[in-house]
């Protein structure tokens, strides 16, 4: 494959809808989220149908996310050594096969094993979409396209939970069949995705040395820690215990759970498309601080919603926070790294993201058992307070 790279000037912002590389890179986010967002709304229903506790049923989420914790740095090495697309296509095919198999699993234990295999294949996706975008773009276009990452995540969490909830009304297994569309995407990526590869192919020793260097990147440890804590707090609060709150307190259906996630995601999507404008008014550090404060306010309000629709305001606030936080962290990391480091840096950050998602149900489980959903949300808000403390230790950046 021909290697190339280019950076767009700050004054030229081409139409993203005409950029096949950008669209196909962002498409990876859809398949990451298919394995999470379509499943979250059906967890209470699965618990009832299978006669299992919510904690045990949550293993279908943990099994999917856990492999990325350990395999994402290795995936970054493979992408740097052999090429982005050369790793992407086989991963997509394996993802589609194992993911579709989950819908046909004859037992809960087999379902968990298939989810683990699916999680192994998806480990490359979180590295590739952010690495490719970081490689291709610079300046304001990088800010805008990093914003589109959050927009895409938001669109996925707006639509996919609702789709999963509606499919679950027919049968709880149907949401697990959605990865079958990965076969179509793999074909499109094979034909149309053209991505830059690094100008060198590192050997194992040099790559491990680069991983070590990336761990101690200037302010890198702070950013990785923020990703870990923010992922654990937000995922646990909104993806695990918000559905539980809706199900128990308001007798909500999977479709109603999906609707609240959709509201949050729509707000997040709108905000993330405005990151360039926001960044002209506020520094990146200020944007991070604002997002975590909004998370704290939202989580503090959640237990006191007296009705199902009373959840709308805190869920909208969570959307505002999400719309700024994740893409801003990616911008910090991308600007602090060279092209040679970017794969390993994004791999470490993706590992922290999935580690946070994997441990979230269990970090909040003890507070939930002690005091119900109210204590779970208060604990999540305390985690976000830790993110505020860490963000204050980042350097004040210039507005773009």
Choose the weakest-confidence range: 88-92, 107-111, 164-168, 199-203: 199-203
pLDDT over 60 (residue 1): no
- Of 23 and 385, more confident: 385
Give pLDDT tens digits for 238-251.
Answer: 878 888 888 888 88
**Residue at 300 is within a domain:** yes
| Distance of alpha carbon 339 from alpha carbon 195, whole angstroms | 13
Q: Vertex 161, ends 385 and 165: CA angle to 5°?
A: 130
Higher pLDDT, 23 or 14: 23
- Look at residue 5 in the predicted model and tell me its pLDDT: 39
**Phi, psi angle pair for 203, to nearest 5°:** -80, 175
Residue 128: count other Cβ atoms within 10 Å of its Cβ. 25
Q: What is the pLDDT of residues 327-369, one digit of tens each?
A: 788 778 777 665 556 666 777 787 788 788 778 878 888 898 8
Greater confidence, 59 or 379? 379
Collapsing DSSP to helix, strand or coil, 12 comes out as: coil
Residue 306 lies inside a defined structural domain of this protein: yes
Is 91 part of any domain? Answer: yes
The number of residues making up the chain comes to 400
**Positive or negative: CA dihedral 222, 227, 229, 230:** positive
Alpha helices in 199-249 (DSSP H): 204-215, 220-234, 242-249
Please check whether residue 195 is in contact with residue 132, taking contact to mean a CB–CB distance below 8 angstroms: yes
First to last CA, the chain: 34
Give domain status of residue 13, yes or no.
no
List pLDDT tens digits, range 151-190: 787 778 778 877 888 888 888 889 999 999 989 888 888 8
How many domains is the chain partitioned into structurally? 1
Q: Rounded to whole angstroms, how far apart are CA atoms 224 and 350?
A: 9
- Better pLDDT: 391 or 1: 391
- The helix, strand and coil proportions of the chain, stated in percent and rounded to the nearest 5, come to 80, 0, 20
d(CA 339, CA 332): 14
Domain containing 28: what range? 19-391
pLDDT for the residue numbered 385: 96
Those residues whose C-beta lies under 8 Å from the C-beta of residue 260, and which sit 6 or more positions away, are 242, 246, 311, 312, 315
Q: What angle do CA 82, 215, 275 make, to 5 degrees?
A: 85
- How far apart are alpha carbons 334 and 219 in whole angstroms? 12
% of the chain beyond a pLDDT of 70:
85
> Mean pLDDT of all residues in the chain?
80
141, pLDDT greater than 80 = no
Residue 25 placed within a domain: yes
Q: What DSSP assignment string belongs to 104-127? A: T-SSHHHHHHHHHHHHHHHTTHHH
Residue 313 has pLDDT above 90, yes or no: yes
Tell me whether residue 6 is in a domain: no
Q: How far apart are CA 322 and CA 293, in angstroms?
A: 11
Residue 184, SS3? helix
Burial category of 32 from C-beta neighbours within 10 Å (exposed 0-12, middle 13-18, buried 19 and up): buried
Q: For the domain that residue 312 is a member of, what is the CATH number?
A: 1.20.1250.20
Q: What is the pTM of this model?
A: 0.70
Count of beta carbons in the 10 Å neighbourhood of residue 371? 13
- Tokens for 66, please give them: 């856990």
Give the tokens for residue 94: 């394996």
Q: Which residues, other chains included, contact 47 with Cβ-Cβ below 8 Å and sequence gap of 6+?
A: 53, 54, 57
C-alpha 164/C-alpha 132 separation (Å) is 29
109 or 84, which is more confident: 109
Residue 290 banded pLDDT, cuts 50, 70, 90 = very high
Q: Which two tokens stand for residue 392?
A: 């204050």
Angle at 71 (CA atoms; ends 112, 235), nearest 5 degrees: 60
pLDDT of residue 196: 64
């Amino acid at each position: 494959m021909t290697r190339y790279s280019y950076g767009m000037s700050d004054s030229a912002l081409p139409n993203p809808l005409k950029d096949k590389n950008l669209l196909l890179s962002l498409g990876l986010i859809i398949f990451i989220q298919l394995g999470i967002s379509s499943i979250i709304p059906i967890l209470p229903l699965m618990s009832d149908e299978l006669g299992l506790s919510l904690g045990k049923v949550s293993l279908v989420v943990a099994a999917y996310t856990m492999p990325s914790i350990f395999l994402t740095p290795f995936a970054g090495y493979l992408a740097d050594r052999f090429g982005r697309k050369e790793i992407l296509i086989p991963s997509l095919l394996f993802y589609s096969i194992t993911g579709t198999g989950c819908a046909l699993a004859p037992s809960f234990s087999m379902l968990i094993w298939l989810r683990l295999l699916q999680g192994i294949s998806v480990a490359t996706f979180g590295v590739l979409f952010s690495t490719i975008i970081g490689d291709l773009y610079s300046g304001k276009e990088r800010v805008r396209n990093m914003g589109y990452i959050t927009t895409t995540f938001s669109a996925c969490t707006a639509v996919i939970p609702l789709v999963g909830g509606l499919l679950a009304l027919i049968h709880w297994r149907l949401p697990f069949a959605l990865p079958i569309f990965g076969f179509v995407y793999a074909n499109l990526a094979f034909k149309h995705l053209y991505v830059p590869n690094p100008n060198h192919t590192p050997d194992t020793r040099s790559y491990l040395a680069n991983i070590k260097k990336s761990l101690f990147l200037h302010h890198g440890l702070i950013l990785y820690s923020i990703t870990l804590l923010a992922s654990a707090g937000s995922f646990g609060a909104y993806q695990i215990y918000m559905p539980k709150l809706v199900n128990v307190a308001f007798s909500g259906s999977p479709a109603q759970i999906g609707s609240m996630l959709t509201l949050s995601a729509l707000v997040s999507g709108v905000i993330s498309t405005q990151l360039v404008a926001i960044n002209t008014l506020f520094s990146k550090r200020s944007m991070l601080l604002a997002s975590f404060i909004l998370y704290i306010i939202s989580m503090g309000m959640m237990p006191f919603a007296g009705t199902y629709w009373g959840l709308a305001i805190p869920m909208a606030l969570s959307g505002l926070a999400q719309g700024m936080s994740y893409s801003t962290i990616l911008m910090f990391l991308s600007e602090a790294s060279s092209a040679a480091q970017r794969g390993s840096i994004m791999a470490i950050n993706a590992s922290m993201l999935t580690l946070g998602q994997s441990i979230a149900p269990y970090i909040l489980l003890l507070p939930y058992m002690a005091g119900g959903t109210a204590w779970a949300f208060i604990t999540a808000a305390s985690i976000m307070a830790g993110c505020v403390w860490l963000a204050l230790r980042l350097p004040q950046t210039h507005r773009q």
